[in-house]
Structure 1
């Protein structure tokens, strides 16, 4: 049996596990300090921007897909 994949997978799990532990610990401590308090309007505005970017990205991907399929000669018309 080749031990390299076993060693690398174990190393990867240890590194990511340690990183996640310290990330969760840091975020928990920041929350206890009270620095993470945002106004609801700020959070809603940021959420709206993210949603708008997502919708525009999906629309662009849809148009690109239909354009590429038309260029390749695929029939994408509705029955």
Structure 2
């Protein structure tokens, strides 16, 4: 009874890893075809990054303004 468990588990492991490798290779191959879409993705990432940095800068400025208005000491 216990003799077939390693065979079944190794077979399952090979099937799962083989399927994962197949889809990983297929995904990378498909990504190579999408040169035109890369520009659009980079532009979108740039916009999101710019919005994030500007939001972070605004949050820092509002925080310091609020701290100054409340009379907190922000010096080192």
TM-score calculated relative to the size of structure 1: 0.50
Shift of residue 64, structure 1, vs aligned partner = 0.6
Distance 1:51 1:66 in 2: 22
Counterpart of 1:39 (choices 34, 43, 53) is 34
The alignment status of 1:63 with 2:61, answered yes or no, reads no
Question: Any unmatched runs of 5+ in structure 1?
Answer: 1-21, 75-79
> Considering only aligned residues, what root-mean-square deviation do their CA atoms show, in Å?
2.9
Q: How many residues align structurally?
A: 51
SS at match of 1:58: helix
SS at match of 2:31: coil
Query: Partner of 1:50 in structure 2?
Result: 45
TM-score calculated relative to the size of structure 2: 0.51
